[in-house]
Structure 1
Amino acid sequence: MVEQLTRADRMALGKDARTLAPLESQAEFAPDRSRDPVGLLLGQAKSRVAELVPVRHGRMLVSAFTFYRGAALPMAADLATTPASGLRVQLCGDAHLANFGAFASPERRLVFDVNDFDETVPGPFEWDVKRLAASLAVAGRDNGFPLKARRKIVLAAAEGYRTAMRGFAEQPLLDVWYAHLDIEQAIGDFRAQMKAKKFKAAKGLLAKAHTADSTKAQRKLTTIADGQRRIVSQPPMIMPIEEVFASVQADAIYQEIRTVLGKYRRTLQSDRRHLLEQFSLVQVARKVVGVGSVGTRAWILLLDGGDGTEPLFLQAKEAQPSVLAEYCGRSQYTNQGERVVAGQHLMQAESDIFLGWTRATGPDKVDRDFYVRQLKDWKFSFPIELMIPSGMALYAGICGWTLARAHARSGDRVALAAYLGDSDRFDQVIADFAETYADQNERDYAAFQAAVKDGKAEATTEI
C-alpha cells in the first residue's frame, strides 16, 4: 500500500521541492563540453535493423523538427544535467507535440491523448514538460513563426499543464482517473484559430479518422493473389515476412509466430482474449514506422474473423530499453514490452483493447520484446504544418492539459500543484528553456547534417 500523507504534508513536499530546484532554475541548460549527440544517435544503430538505419537518418534530415523527433536520447542525456524537483511521475519519455493524437476509445468515441510510450519510465515530471515545450519552439521555427509567437505557444502549453494540475489537485482521485478529452468537442475551438482553407483540410482529415480501421488497412495494404489475401510487398517500407527471412521455411516461421501470439494473448484481459481467439492469422509483414523508431523491428499481422471480410490488423513493435533508463533508473519490468504497456495504461485515460506484450526469438536466436496493439483504430494526428500561431497555441494548451492529466494519475498531484504555484513563473521559465534548447537542437541538427556529408553517418533520403 502507498503511504497516505495528509494534504498539508503533500503541499509541503511540493513547496520544499522549490528549495531543491527553484522555479527559476527550470530555465537552465548549459551544454556539457563532452556531449556528443551524433555519437549517441549512431550508437543506437547497433541494436537496429542495419538496412533500415539509413532510412531513419534520412527522415531525421528532413528538418530540424524531424531531427528533434529522432533525438530523444541526446535530449535525455541533456535533461539529466538540469535541475530536478524530485517530484516523479510516470513519464511518456518522448512527449513532443507529434506524439499526441486522437484514437478510438473502447466505447467508439474519438479521444485525444498521449499516444507514444516507447520510452516510458518513472522520472522527473519536468522532463516531459520540457520535451513538449522545446518541441513547440522547434516546430514553430519550422513553420516560420517569429519569436514572440513561439513564446506565446510555449506559454500556452506550460500554463495548460500548470492550471490543469492545480485543478486536478482539487479533485477526487477517481475524477482525475476518469478525466479525458473529447477531441470532437475540442476541434470546434480550432475553427476561429485557423485559416478557413486550412481548417477545412484539417476537419476533413479528422473525419477520415473514423474510417481509419482494419478494413481500410486491408484495402490499402493487401491484394488477392492465387485466391488468397496477401500483403503487398513495398520494400523496404513493407516486406512480407517470407521475403525478410527468405532462407527460413515459411511453415517454421508461422509456427513460431503462432506460439508468440499465444503468449501475447495471455497478457490480455479475459474478454479481449476471447475476442482475439475468434481471429486466425493470415500473414505477417515488416513495416517501417515513425522517425525515431525506424530500424526497430515492427511487424504488422493480418488476421481474419473467418470469411475474408472481417480483417484485424495488429502491429507488433519492438520495445528496447527506454532512452531515459540510464539517467533516471531502469524499469521494474524485465520485459520491455510490458514496460511500455504498463506505462501506457497508467498514463492514458483509455487504451486500445488489444494492447499487450510478448517476447519472440528470431532466426538469429536473439530474444526480443514487443508490445502489440491495433495498427489502425481511428488514429489521427493533427497536421502541424497546417497550424498558424494561434492554432498551435490552442493545440499546445490541449497538449499541456493532457500531459498534466497523465502525470496526475501516477504522481502526487497535490505536491506538483504546490510546486508549480498559481503565478505564471513556471510558464515563463519553461518558455525560456524551450528557446534555449531549440537553439541547441539547431546546432545538433547541423552537426548531424555534417556527419552525413562527411560519410560518418549513412542516410537514405529518397524514402
Structure 2
Amino acid sequence: MPATIPELAACPEPAGRADPVRILTAQATSRVAELIPVRNARMAATPFTFYRGAAAVMTADLAATPDSGVNTQLCGDAHLSNFGLFYTPERRMIFDLNDFDETSPGPFEWDVKRLAASFVVAARYNGYDAKTSRAIAREVAKSYRKWMIASADQSTMDCWYARIDADELLAEVGSTLDTSTAARTVKGLRKARHRNSLQAVGKLCVTDDEGNLRIRSDPPLLVPIDELFPDHHADVVAERIAVRIEGYRSMLPDYVRALFDQFTVVDSARKVVGVGSVGTRSWIVLMRGRQGDPLFLQLKEAQRSVIMDHVPVQPYPNQGQRVVEGQRLLQAASDLFLGWTSGFDENDENRDLYVRQLRDGKGSIVVEALTPGEMNLYARLCGRVLAQAHARTADRLAIIDYLRSGKGFASAISDFAAAYADLNDADHAALVAAIERGDVPSNELR
C-alpha cells in the first residue's frame, strides 16, 4: 500500500540499519584505490561533507521507509550543493539542478527528502538552532508542493520550457536582500559568468619549455596522463582516451559534431572532483580550436545508480547514457556537448562514461556563508527548481494528485529531515571513529 502523507515522516531506527561505513567501503571497491583515502578524508571533514558523499547510505535508508508509490525520474542526489548556475546553449545563465550521477526512476519524495535533510544538516553545521533548521526544511517542502501543484495549470510544453533565469531571479528577490547580501550575490553571479574553458586554462594549465600549453601537475588531485603511468602505458591510456572520444563523437548530433570537429586534442589528465565522486575515473581533456581557443571536456565515469539497487528499472546499455538521458529530462537546458561513451581503462576493464564541458559558467552557493534568512530563501528556490524538474516528466499529474490527497506534506518532510540529520551525525561520527582506529584509510592532503 502507498504511504499516506503523514507516513512520509517515518525514519529508520538506528539499530535496524545497515552499517554506513560498510556501505561506503563496499562502494569503494569499484573505485581507484589510491583515491579512496582522499574521499574518506573529505567525507570525514564535517557532517555536511559526509552527507554529500553518502547517497548510497541514504538511499538504502529511504528504501526501508514507506513511500508514496508515485515514481518519477529522480535526480538521485538532490542535496543543496547540487543546485547552481550554468549557461544554456543559448548563453543565458540559469539556476537549476546540476548533478545527475545517480539519476534513475524512483519515488518522487526521495528527492524532496534528500534536499530537505541536506538543509537541516547544513543549518546545524552553520550553528542554527533546531527550530530554525526544521523551519528551513519545511520551506523546501512547502515550495516544492506549491510549485508542483501550480504546474497543474500549465500546459505540457510550458512545464517543459520552465526555467529560472539568473538575471530575472536577481531582480525578483533583490528587494528581499539586504545590501551586503545583494552585493555578494551579484559578485557570485559575475564570477560564474567568467567560469569557462578560457578561465580553466589559467587555473589548470602551464606552458612548457617549447611554448605548448599543457595541463599542470598537482598530484593526486590533478595528474597528466604521461605522469600518471609509465611511458609505454601512458601511450596506451592516451590511445584509449582517444578511442573513447571518438566513440563520444559518433553519438553527437551532426550539428554538434561539426562544431566538435573544429577542435583538436592537446592533453589529458586525471582530475579528482567533488566529494561523493572521488575515486570514480574522471578525465579532463584539453582541446584547441582552429583559432587557438580552448575547450575543456570532462569524461566522468558513470557507475550503476545507487537507486537501482532498491528500485527495479529497465537498465540502459551504458550508464553514461543513463546519466545523460536523466539530465536532459530533468534539466531546463543542458550542455551542448553532453554525451556518453565507453571503453577500456588502464586495467583493461570496460568503463561507461559521460562527457560534458568542464566549466561553462558553473557556480554554486557557499553554504557556510549563508545567514538563516538567506538559507530560508535558498530553500524555497531549490524546492521550486526540484518541482519544475519533476513537472517536466510524464508523472507530473500523479505527483500532484498525491500531494492533494491529504494534509501535512511539509510537516512530514521536515520531521523526516530532522530525524535523518540525527542519523547522519551518528554516521559521520562512525566514519571519523573508523579512521581514528585505522580501519578506514584517510589522506587530508594538507
Q: Same fold (TM over 0.5)?
A: yes
Alignment partner of 1:296: what SS? Answer: coil
In 1, distance between residues paired with 2:440 and 2:179? 42
- 2:17, 2:61 within 8 Å by CA — same for their partners in 1? no
Residue among 312, 331, 334 paired with 1:351:
334
Larger deviation: 96-105 or 141-150?
141-150
Which residue does the alignment assign to 1:416? 399
* Aligned residue runs from structure 1 range 285-300, under 5 A: 285-300=269-284
Q: CA deviation at 1:330?
A: 4.2
Q: CA deviation at 1:33?
A: 2.1
Q: CA deviation at 1:203?
A: 2.4
Q: CA deviation at 1:306?
A: 2.4
Please state if 1:257 is matched with 2:257. Answer: no
Please state if 1:23 is matched with 2:5. Answer: yes
Alignment partner of 1:285: what SS? Answer: strand
Q: CA deviation at 1:144?
A: 0.8
Which residue does the alignment assign to 2:46? 63
- 1:202, 1:382 within 8 Å by CA — same for their partners in 2? no
Please state if 1:170 is matched with 2:153. Answer: yes
Q: CA deviation at 1:443?
A: 0.8
* Aligned residue runs from structure 1 range 180-195, under 5 A: 180-188=163-171, 191=174
Alpha-carbon spacing, 1:249–1:228, altered in 2? closer, same or farther (3 Å): farther
In 2, distance between residues paired with 1:346 and 1:240? 34
Which residue does the alignment assign to 2:89? 106
Q: CA deviation at 1:135?
A: 0.3
* Aligned residue runs from structure 1 range 217-232, under 5 A: 217-225=200-208, 226-232=210-216
Alignment partner of 2:29: what SS? Answer: helix
- 1:23-62 deviations in whole A, cap 9, x for unaligned? 1000011325252111001111111111110000111111
Please state if 1:278 is matched with 2:291. Answer: no
Alpha-carbon spacing, 1:43–1:250, altered in 2? closer, same or farther (3 Å): closer
Please state if 1:301 is matched with 2:285. Answer: yes
Between the two proteins, what is the percent identity of the paired residues? 48
In 1, distance between residues paired with 2:175 and 2:436? 44
Alpha-carbon spacing, 1:252–1:42, altered in 2? closer, same or farther (3 Å): closer
Please state if 1:46 is matched with 2:61. Answer: no
Letter in 2 for 1:365: D
In 2, distance between residues paired with 1:107 and 1:247? 42
Alignment partner of 2:392: what SS? Answer: helix
Which residue does the alignment assign to 1:152? 135
TM-score computed with the length of structure 1 as normaliser: 0.93
In 1, distance between residues paired with 2:96 and 2:250? 26
- 2:5, 2:406 within 8 Å by CA — same for their partners in 1? no
Please state if 1:36 is matched with 2:19. Answer: yes
- 2:5, 2:407 within 8 Å by CA — same for their partners in 1? no
Larger deviation: 240-249 or 358-367?
240-249
Alpha-carbon spacing, 1:269–1:349, altered in 2? closer, same or farther (3 Å): same
* Aligned residue runs from structure 1 range 59-458, under 5 A: 59-188=42-171, 191=174, 196-225=179-208, 226-307=210-291, 309-421=292-404, 425-458=408-441
In 2, distance between residues paired with 1:460 and 1:200? 37
- 1:88, 1:411 within 8 Å by CA — same for their partners in 2? no
Alpha-carbon spacing, 1:387–1:34, altered in 2? closer, same or farther (3 Å): closer
Alpha-carbon spacing, 1:42–1:209, altered in 2? closer, same or farther (3 Å): same
In 1, distance between residues paired with 2:232 and 2:319? 27
In 2, distance between residues paired with 1:139 and 1:318? 28
Alignment partner of 1:313: what SS? Answer: strand
Q: CA deviation at 1:191?
A: 4.6
In 2, distance between residues paired with 1:24 and 1:169? 23
Letter in 2 for 1:24: P
In 2, distance between residues paired with 1:280 and 1:92? 33
- 1:357, 1:370 within 8 Å by CA — same for their partners in 2? yes
Q: CA deviation at 1:262?
A: 1.1
Q: CA deviation at 1:81?
A: 0.7
- 1:214, 1:377 within 8 Å by CA — same for their partners in 2? yes
In 2, distance between residues paired with 1:26 and 1:344? 26
In 2, distance between residues paired with 1:392 and 1:275? 40
- 1:138-181 deviations in whole A, cap 9, x for unaligned? 00101111122212211111011101111112211011001111
In 2, distance between residues paired with 1:190 and 1:405? 18
Q: CA deviation at 1:412?
A: 2.1
In 2, distance between residues paired with 1:104 and 1:206? 11
Alpha-carbon spacing, 1:421–1:337, altered in 2? closer, same or farther (3 Å): same
Q: CA deviation at 1:440?
A: 0.7
Q: CA deviation at 1:460?
A: 1.2
In 1, distance between residues paired with 2:33 and 2:217? 19
In 2, distance between residues paired with 1:455 and 1:329? 37
Letter in 2 for 1:146: D
Alpha-carbon spacing, 1:424–1:203, altered in 2? closer, same or farther (3 Å): farther
Letter in 1 for 2:11: F
Alpha-carbon spacing, 1:167–1:190, altered in 2? closer, same or farther (3 Å): closer
Alpha-carbon spacing, 1:376–1:221, altered in 2? closer, same or farther (3 Å): same
Alpha-carbon spacing, 1:391–1:331, altered in 2? closer, same or farther (3 Å): farther
- 1:190, 1:391 within 8 Å by CA — same for their partners in 2? no
Letter in 1 for 2:432: Q
In 2, distance between residues paired with 1:199 and 1:67? 30
- 2:237, 2:345 within 8 Å by CA — same for their partners in 1? no
In 1, distance between residues paired with 2:407 and 2:81? 25
Alignment partner of 1:403: what SS? Answer: helix
Letter in 1 for 2:134: R
Alignment partner of 2:11: what SS? Answer: coil
In 1, distance between residues paired with 2:425 and 2:36? 22
In 2, distance between residues paired with 1:420 and 1:461? 44
